[in-house]
Amino acid sequence: MSDKVEKTDSSCGCGEAGGSGGFCKKAGRNVLITGGAGFIGSNLVRLFVNKYPEYRIVNFDKLTYAGNLANLKDVEDKPNYVFVKGDICDFGKVLSVFREYSIDGVIHLAAESHVDRSIKDPFVFARTNVMGTLTLLQAAKECWNGEWEGKMFYHISTDEVYGSLGFDGTLFTENTKYAPHSPYSASKASSDHFVRAFHDTYGMPSIVTNCSNNYGPYQFPEKLIPLFINNIRYGRPLPVYGKGENVRDWLYVEDHARAIDLIFHKGRAAQTYNIGGFNEWKNIDLVRLLVRVTDRLLGNPEGFSDKLITFVTDRAGHDLRYAIDSSKLKNELGWTPSLDFKAGLEKTVKWYLDNQQWMDNITSGDYERYYEEMYGRR
């Protein structure tokens, strides 16, 4: 996206916006959040429903294996919240939601999000992440019909589109060239390009953010942290891919939701912002810390679950290192992560142990069968 396109400033002239083109805060606005029943989406919906009683928040979600309305029990009866079950690839349905709820702003999170699944079945990633995003963009374009004032299409992307770094201390910036390796990151990269193309071609006000690995409550237990907490709890193996040398930058999910809120309202239209924790961890070091914290909170002696750590065949095309430079966001909008990683991890482990029923409800269903197919053991 170019910095120069001024016609896409989405502020509505009421003086409430950040003065930079972000989504103007005023009563009666209708915000569509896609994928709001998933991990990050449910944390974001909770934040918006509670913080903006003057908005109507429409959560549009297909409820795939990763979508769970139990994540939103505490806000489902709020008067400013609406849930619509639907597929972002269904143009007619998406357009009818835009029209019925007079949608002014979109925060688009719905996606297939797990790299291992994308290696097994890339087609569903192309369908949902690429075609689904294009369908949403096309519906927004048709509904908004060139009246861009007060509108915003905010697309949530990932740092994985930038590819893989070496151990040389380099960080991904907003200017790093896209070099996706997995079918997941390739599909997200493609969707990012479509969002920018709709800005550059039609003038649609849009923002893209690329965030690092999130952790925290309500994450589906196929991802490293919740999967391992649950396996420790049940004394099951902890499958570390390869030698556990890969590095990820971890951010607490509520800090990501805070960043989205800030950027949606105060960010500059047509911009990209990186969001990260400045918090790099080698997988094996993170796993050892996780084992220590979980054992302690379970009342096990120190070292009790170390024996569960099992090195398994590496993920195909496994990216070595992701690390985000989020200084643009810090310098422009003053955002920094609020939580130190050790405190965040402790809080997260505690949440999963306190919400074992939530976990058991998920793992007793289709996911159990998927896990067996993936790993051939339980």
Based on CB atoms, which residue is closest to ligand NAD, 88 or 134?
Answer: 88
Closest by CA position to 59, among listed 79, 82, 87: 82
Q: In angstroms, rounded to a whole number, what is the distance separating the alpha carbons of residues 91 and 83?
A: 18
Which residue, 107 or 290, is less far from ligand TYD as judged by CB?
Answer: 290
Tabulate helix, strand, coil % of the chain (nearest 5). 45, 15, 40
63 sits near ligand NAD (criterion: CB under 6 A): yes
Decide which of ligand NAD, ligand TYD, none touches 248; Cβ closer than 5 to 8 Å per partner kind.
ligand TYD
The residues pairing with 158 across neighbouring beta strands, listed in sequence order, are 211
- Separation CA 194–CA 266 (nearest Å): 23
Token pair belonging to 366:
């289709």
CA angle, 39 as apex, 318 and 75 as ends, to 5°? 175
Catalytic residue among 154, 184, 218, 252: 184
How far, in Å, CA of 92 to CA of 174, rounded?
34
Cβ distance to ligand TYD smaller for residue 86 or 180: 180
CB 29 within 8 A of CB 56: yes
Among 40, 66, 134, 227, binds ligand TYD (CB under 6 A): 227
Identify residues 144-173 at the interface with ligand NAD (CB under 6 A). 156, 158
Q: Are 66 and 109 a contacting pair, CB within 8 Å?
A: no
Q: Does 214 bind ligand NAD (CB under 6 A)?
A: yes
184 is catalytic: yes
Stretch that binds ligand NAD, among 12-20, 87-95, 266-274, 367-375 (CB under 6 A): 87-95
Sequence length of the chain is 378
String marking each residue 240-269 x if it binds ligand TYD according to CB under 6 A: xx----x-x---------------------
The answer to whether 63 touches 85, Cβ cutoff 8 Å, is yes
Contacts of 363 (CB under 8 A, 6+ apart): 221, 230, 371
Report 100-129 residues binding ligand NAD (CB under 6 A).
Answer: 109-113, 128
Q: What does the block give as tokens for 246?
A: 């890969």
| Binding test (CB under 6 A) with ligand TYD, winner from 108, 223, 256, 321 | 223
Does 290 bind ligand TYD (CB under 6 A)? Our answer is no
Nearer to ligand NAD, 148 or 352 (CB): 352
Structural tokens at position 377: 């053991």
Binding mask 299-318 vs ligand TYD (x if CB under 6 A, - otherwise)?
----------------x---
Whether residue 307 contacts residue 239, with contact meaning beta carbons closer than 8 Å, is answered with no
* Active-site residue, selected from the candidate residues 61, 159, 192, 319: 159
Please identify, among the stretches 43-51, 148-156, 239-247, 300-308, the one whose residues bind ligand TYD according to the rule CB under 6 A.
239-247
Q: Which does 61 bind (CB under 5 to 8 A by kind): ligand TYD, ligand NAD, none?
A: ligand NAD
In the list ligand NAD, ligand TYD, none, the entry touching 156 (Cβ below 5 to 8 angstroms by class) is ligand NAD
List 30, 129, 176, 213, residue binding ligand TYD (CB under 6 A): 213
Q: Which residues of 255-269 are buried (b: 16+ CB within 10 A; e: fewer)?
A: bbbbbbbbbbbbbbb
Considering only residues 64 to 83 of the shown chain, the ones binding ligand NAD according to CB under 6 A are: 64, 66-67
Are the beta carbons of 262 and 335 closer than 8 angstroms?
yes
**Nearest-angstrom CA–CA distance, 304 and 301:** 6
**Binding flag, residue 210, ligand TYD (CB under 6 A):** no
CA distance 322 to 17: 33
Rounded to the nearest whole angstrom, what is the least distance from the CB of residue 116 to ligand TYD in the complex?
A: 6
- The angle formed by the CA atoms of residues 231, 124 and 359, to the nearest 5 degrees, is 25
SS3 44: helix
Catalytic status, residue 81: no
Which of the residues 61, 87, 112, 160 is marked catalytic?
160
Question: Which pair of structure tokens corresponds to residue 349?
Answer: 């482990």
Residue from 43, 283, 294, 305 touching ligand TYD (CB under 6 A): that is: 283
State the nearest-atom distance from the C-beta of 11 to ligand NAD, in Å.
Answer: 26
Q: Which does 241 bind (CB under 5 to 8 A by kind): ligand NAD, ligand TYD, none?
A: ligand TYD
Which residues bind to ligand TYD, rule: CB under 6 A? 115, 213, 223-224, 227, 239-241, 246, 248, 283, 315
* Residues labelled as active-site residues: 159-160, 184
